[in-house]
């Protein structure tokens, strides 16, 4: 990627909703290419900057599916502010591991984990008002907002994320072909 001194940098925001931060770790797996990326990109809201709210951005990268009310708010904030919104990883695309609870009753799940589990004496489902309310089902992000691109993988490799971002920033239509396109 060419150096673009004087050019406005591409603003990128990232977040993890119902994810494990594995996709963010994979982002770091771009290794020294991060330095290349840093020449043309600046970060808005992201675990890398610790900025709490997203401003106007060019690219939003979303890891994880939508499992609670806060996820919905964050996702909508990203959609409002990002010109291009990208679903990164299996959970953002199809719910992934958190969605394995989707065929179970949410109340039964909470009872099983916080009340009925062996070894719990005085259990109780956490109800602190600080805690975001859970949705009855975990949703892929495209069921909540419009999504422009998808990068599958659990997680997508650093190579896949690099290929996608350099294509997008370089003005090419991003395309991940086999074997960069992977669902696991």
Tell me how far, at minimum, the Cβ of 66 lies from other proteins, in Å.
12
Rounded to whole angstroms, how far apart are CA atoms 155 and 70? 23
Neighbours of 181 (CB within 10 A): 14
Residue 59 near other proteins by CB under 8 A: no
Q: Find the binder of other proteins among 4, 49, 100, 112 (CB under 8 A).
A: 100
Q: Which residue, 134 or 181, has its beta carbon nearer to other proteins?
A: 181
Tell me if the bond preceding 155 is cis, omega within 30° of 0.
yes
End-to-end Cα spacing for the chain: 28
Residue 62 binds other proteins (CB under 8 A):
no
Is 88 an interacting residue with respect to other proteins (CB under 8 A)? Answer: no
Q: Which one of 36-44, 67-75, 124-132, 175-183 is the stretch in contact with other proteins (CB under 8 A)?
A: 175-183
Binding to other proteins, residues 113-142 (CB under 8 A): 137, 139-140, 142
Q: Which stretches of the chain bind other proteins, using CB under 8 A?
A: 87, 90, 93-97, 99-100, 102-103, 137, 139-140, 142-143, 147, 149-152, 154, 175-179, 181-184
């Amino acid at each position: 990627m060419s150096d673009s001194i004087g050019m406005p940098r591409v603003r990128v925001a990232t977040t993890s909703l119902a994810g494990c931060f594995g996709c963010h770790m994979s982002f770091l797996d771009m290794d020294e290419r991060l330095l290349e990326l840093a020449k043309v990109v600046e970060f808005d809201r992201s675990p890398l900057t610790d900025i709490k709210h997203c401003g106007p951005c060019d690219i939003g990268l979303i890891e994880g599916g939508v499992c609670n009310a806060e996820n919905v708010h964050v996702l909508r904030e990203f959609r409002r502010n990002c010109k291009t919104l990208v679903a990164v990883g299996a959970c953002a695309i199809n719910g992934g591991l958190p969605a394995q609870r989707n065929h179970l009753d949410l109340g039964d799940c909470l009872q099983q984990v916080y009340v009925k589990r062996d070894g719990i004496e005085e259990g109780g489902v956490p109800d602190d008002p600080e805690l975001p309310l859970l949705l009855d089902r975990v949703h892929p992000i495209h069921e909540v907002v419009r999504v422009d691109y998808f990068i599958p993988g659990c997680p997508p490799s650093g190579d896949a994320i690099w290929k996608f971002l350099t294509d997008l920033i370089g003005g090419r239509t991003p395309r991940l072909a086999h074997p960069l396109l992977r669902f696991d």
